[in-house]
Amino acid sequence: MKLADNKATLSFSNGSPSVEMPVYQGSIGPDVIDIRKLYAQTGMFTYDPGFLSTASCQSAITYIDGDKGELLYRGYPIEQLAVNCDFLETCHLLLYGNLPNETQKKDFTSRVTNHTMVNEQMQFFLRGFRRDAHPMAVLTGLVGALSAFYHDSTDINNPQHREVAAIRLIAKMPTLVAMAYKYGKGEPYMYPRNDLSYAGNFLRMMFGTPCEDYVVNPVLERALDRIFILHADHEQNASTSTVRLCGSSGTNPFAAIAAGVACLWGPAHGGANEACLNMLEDIQRQGGVSKVGEFMEKVKDKNSGVKLMGFGHRVYKNYDPRAKLMQETCNEVLKELGLENDPLFKLAKELEKIALEDDYFVSRKLYPNVDFYSGIVQRAMGIPVNLFTGIFALARTVGWIAQLNEMISDPEYKIGRPRQLFTGSERAGKRAAAIQTLIVDGPRPPTHESPPHPGGLFLWCAGSASRPRIVVTPVTVQRVLP
Ligand code: ACO
């Protein structure tokens, strides 16, 4: 890290001595004040829930200029990568820091292609899920389960293991996402094909069947590849920070990525594409474009709890550059499929037009994010709404693993362990210190008492076996049963 010429001084109004803190400069973007010694020097923590002003790490992978609406992967603007590169080249860039030359590209593509199959045992694991399980629930389980199948790539401190885990994850995610989809549909899984591109292979595993040949549509293949590129990394967002925090304990890479998948699922993050399409379908059902004004009034009413999904971003205070590219892809895909008059696309454009002119959105600098149009593209391709976030997870896996590997290689990295401002009771009273009891309350009074376990928790087992009611309550033991 590069020290800046200036230092920061923190002074206190109560006469405590002021503290000087070093300032570090990034290559671009805001400088950071190094507060690591603050607690040792002052006995105080900083308070920043939601990380509004806190850099949790140093990173050389992705840079966002939220005011300009700029996104760079290793210095390359996303617009250039989306137009001139394919997803695997982008993966190489994110993982190793450079766009591959021809030999490197061939080698990298071949390594990924040769890891696309999953252990045959995975399908039996998958069978444990209900067919109607949400694909993100399935994926969280499947990705974590990879650690049970590939024991030679679970040591996060071994560079060779990390490298193999990275290739395996990038290669196997499309297979797992397609398997989750096929399982839900009750169709046979399609094994990967090595002669197809990364996106083409995924389309075939999704929509092909063993009954006939599947011909990849090049427009859809390119569109999907672009979706993957646009979602590949986004610096220290919620899921990436989750992966870093999870991995900081030294857990295996598959478990850390599974944590990222779980975090991504939420509607404020990767789940926004699903939530956005559900919102559009909802407005469409209620009357479509004619209901946009009414809907916008609800969005602006803080008490309604309604948000314009696919709008707003913690970092972008300008147009998300990915949303522009996604809108372009949306036009291409709808044209290719003869869906130019798609009512949801029209509705989305109308919502965007109104929002961009409305003072509520203008004053808060709320613009469409990548998820505003990605759902329309995916839906047109035949991807079910509940799989949108799974596609996002597939694409983001390379970003997660690149960030995880960067963290482990950083000599300054430590286990992540935030502090807190404690606002609870000062000291536990007699009642709380007493033994707590778990009461199993059935129609009949308790008849049996289990021995207390070492934590001092009593279990009273009782009641009808057919319909026990369980009440867990932190009460003091008032009587001991004979
Ligand atoms: N609709 C209506 N109002 C909004 C929206 C929205 N989509 N987004 C933000 N606002 C309002 C907030 O209510 C707040 O208003 P206030 O200042 O009057 O209280 C103001 O704009 C600032 O928003 P915050 O919620 O404080 O911003 P934050 O950075 O915490 O949240 C977030 C960002 C979560 C993305 C938010 O904009 C949101 O919920 N958007 C909708 C969900 C979405 O599209 N998520 C995808 C993000 S991109 C991605 O993860 C791939």
Closest CA to ligand 1's atom 11: 364
How far away, in angstroms, is 312 Cα from ligand 1 center?
A: 5
Q: What is the pLDDT of residue 432?
A: 52
How far away, in angstroms, is 65 Cα from ligand 1 center?
A: 18
- Cα 61–Cα 67–Cα 360 angle in degrees, nearest 5: 130
DSSP label at 212?
B
Q: What is the pLDDT of residue 363?
A: 96
How far away, in angstroms, is 73 Cα from ligand 1 center?
A: 24
Q: What is the pLDDT of residue 450?
A: 47
Q: What is the pLDDT of residue 18?
A: 97
Measuring from each residue's beta carbon to the nearest atom of ligand 1, which residues come in under 6 Å? 268-270, 272, 299, 307-314, 364, 366, 369-371
Q: What is the pLDDT of residue 349?
A: 87
Can you tell me whether residue 127 is helix, strand or coil? Answer: coil
Closest CA to ligand 1's atom 34: 268
pTM for this entry: 0.86
User: pLDDT tens track of the chain, all 482 residues?
Assistant: 899 999 999 999 999 999 999 999 999 999 999 999 999 999 999 999 999 999 999 999 999 999 999 999 999 999 999 999 999 999 999 999 999 999 999 999 999 999 999 999 999 999 999 999 999 999 999 999 999 999 988 999 999 999 999 999 999 999 999 999 999 999 999 999 999 999 999 999 999 999 999 999 999 999 999 999 999 999 999 999 999 999 999 999 999 999 999 999 999 999 989 899 999 999 999 999 999 999 999 999 999 999 999 999 999 999 899 999 999 999 999 999 999 888 998 899 899 999 999 999 999 999 999 888 898 899 999 999 999 999 999 999 999 999 999 999 999 999 999 999 999 999 876 665 444 544 444 444 444 444 444 444 444 444 444 444 444 444 444 444 43
What are the backbone angles phi and psi of residue 417, rounded to the nearest 5°? Answer: -150, 85
Q: Report how far apart, in Å, the C-alpha atoms of 205 and of each of 9, 83, 279, 336, 471 are.
A: 58, 25, 29, 21, 47
Give the residue numbers annotated as catalytic, written as ranges: 313, 371
Give the neighbor-by-neighbor strand order of the sheet with 469-476. Answer: 448-449, 458-461, 436-441, 469-476
